[in-house]
Chains A and B, each alone.
Chain A
Amino acid sequence: MSDDQMRTLLLIALIATPSLGLAQPAGQGADCSAVVIERMAMQHRMPNVEGCLGREVVQELNRTDHRALERSVHHWEAPDRIVSQSPAKDTELQHNTPILLDVSDGSLPPPSKPSTADVSVQAFIASKKPFLAGEKLRFAIRVANAGPATATGVAAYFQTENLKIFPTSGECSERECRVVDLQSGANATLDIVAGILGPGPFSFGVTVRHAPTDPDPRNDSVLIRDLAEPRPAAANLGVSADLQPSGPYHVGERVTVGVLVRNGGPQTATNVTIEQRLTNLQLLRLAGDCRQVACVVPSIPSESGVKFELQATVSDAGEFSATFSARGAQQDLNSADNSATVRGTATAPDVVPPNPSVHTVRTLLEVLGACGLAGLGLSYPVRIARWRSRIRVRAALEGTATAKPPSGIRIAAPAVSLRTRLERGVAKPHGTIPIINEEVRHD
């Protein structure tokens, strides 16, 4: 008996009649009109076949010409159970439907599986050029098993030059990734991230190892070589802003915004232009490293920054905002954080009527008389409305001043206009208020 003949699994082909019970668990009430057994050796005259095919089938088989059967049979090993059948169980059978049964008696080892697995690996760089030193690259790796056997213990091993691999999953380390098993015809993909250590050539090699034997080891490894360029001059400016107080806000309130413009490097940022855009805010002052609405900072070294503070008053009720942006002469590695905006909403003040009161005063300086020379100008005692003081009158009077200027000269002083309003603040009791009595009056 050859190895093939020793295989446990046998192929039985039956020609079924309609409603043949063989579509059910084989041999249960089967009514076979004809049976053909292929590759069946009849050395054992089908022992235990009842348990496999059922009594009726066996009876039917026994009515056939065993000698004729023997001529078409190559192997028979006492089948005592059906491993599988086709068509499937409970399928309604048509006349002359071939029925395939895999029958096993369990007495022999299972058929030997294919002993080789042709595993191959492909890899390419998933990042776009140019490849810059210090940047990260993505490598896409595809491991495929062309069979015939399942590849077990599959692992991809990396060899790198001028690269550092960043493990992205628990199955991967800097040196390898484990795929475990790969069935015939299946494939697996790996996504590897690696940083380019410096400018110049770099390489990324992948080798897969597995069991069982690979019939074609030539496609088990792949090597990628490329060139990394030095990084261009680049900085990474970032702007953050903090609004104080935190609110609520009312019209006329002073707000302060602390602004930090930071350079994350790697290069020094030069000619950094910082711009501010205010909405519904009236600028009061700028203090710190930027004192104009649009200022230029000559340089901000890597990993350092400049700070400034803006004070403004809220002009009207509603939303107000302040936006700060920065840009330098260098390429910015992340321009998304180059601006920052703070916002608030102001309410109209709770004003105590009458509102507003307006006082406009045009005060006259009344020159009362010369008081002598002082420096280059003449000094005169003057009276400004209800206020008396000495001021120095220079150019305005020098042309007309005499040694003894006439008294009573009137000079227009700055026009002062005042408006006021009275806003309500917090009112509250302190401690417990004792209620002594209450009295109800019905109107």
Chain B
Amino acid sequence: MTEETGISVRELLPGSFSRLGQTLQEAASRENGPGERTLPGFAWRIAGSEASSALQTALDTDVFSLLARGWGVARELAKYADRSKYPAAVTTIVYLGKHSVTAEVHPVLIVSIDGIEWPPFRFTLALSANFETVALVIRDAHIIGLDSGDCSVSAQLRYGEVPLPGELQSRHVALPGCLRFKPPGIAIGSPT
């Protein structure tokens, strides 16, 4: 999605999820019911160990390209989708004050153990960013990048409604400027 923004989702998360295997096993047991297909616990711990790094890899994506979709639906920015006022050939830098944006993504983990594929495990990663300032680069009704900004970002991973314990981190980020999203960028006025 991005050229370089300098911060990926995985950087907001710990290096491993210590209880992931247990979470997977509990979820598999709960959702498949007693007496259904089961695997020994150590198999799930193996899966959990590998799932942790698999999730980290899946979440190796830029934080702001995910958050920027929140600006795409902001009514205050809807006017920048009006090409009669903001022609496609014109780039507009819009400076925003203090506000917050949230975004959710769902890492989906499909585990196959000894050839048995289990139903997908759909996690939820909630991203939250509190911006002091940020400059959006808008062109042709799309947010094509960020110029500069100052914010704190946090992320929380959960399975269903249950957060994975100890996985919440908040980090202050100073946007260096000239961050560009993958063309055509984030459409303004499109639903998320």
Contacts and interface: CB of A to CB of B under 8 A. Distances in A.
A352 B1 contact: yes
Interface in B51-86: 51, 53-55, 57-59, 61, 66-74, 76-77
Nearest to B94: A438
B161 interface: no
Interface in A419-441: 419-441
Contacts of B72: 427
Interface in A369-404: 384-387, 389, 391
Contacts of A254: 31, 119, 122
Interface string A18-42: 0000000000000000000000000
B108 A422 contact: yes
A1 interface: no
Contacts of B101: 427-430
Given A352-B1, A363-B46, A420-B55, A434 B99 contact: yes
A436 B97 contact: yes
A423 B106 contact: yes
A357 interface: yes
A267 to B, nearest CB: 32
A53 B185 CA distance: 103
Nearest to A358: B54
Contacts of B174: none
A230 to B, nearest CB: 44
Given A413-B46, A441-B90, A443-B89, A430 B99 contact: yes
A428 B73 contact: yes
B94 A389 contact: no
Interface stretch (A75-83, A212-220, A281-289, A339-347): A281-289
Contacts of B107: 420-423
A252 interface: yes
B42 A427 contact: no
A109 interface: no
A68 interface: no
For chain A, which range describes its interface: under 10, 10 to 19, 20 to 34, or 35 or more residues?
35 or more
B113 interface: yes
Nearest to B106: A423
Contacts of B106: 349, 422-425
Nearest to B107: A422
Contacts of B50: 359, 361, 363, 385, 416, 418
B45 A440 contact: no
**Which of A419, A422, A431 has most chain B Cβ within 10 Å?**
A422
Contacts of B108: 252, 349, 420-423
B33 A286 contact: yes
B104 A414 contact: no
B61 to A, nearest CB: 5
A132 B111 CA distance: 59
A420 B109 contact: yes
A387 B61 contact: no
14 contacts: A418-B50, A421-B58, A422-B106, A423-B107, A427-B104, A428-B101, A429-B100, A430-B102, A433-B76, A433-B96, A434-B98, A436-B133, A437-B94, A440-B90
Given A387-B49, A420-B55, A427-B67, 8 more contacts: A286-B33, A287-B33, A361-B50, A385-B46, A385-B50, A386-B49, A413-B46, A414-B113
The 3 closest A-B pairs by CB, nearest first: A425-B104, A434-B97, A427-B103
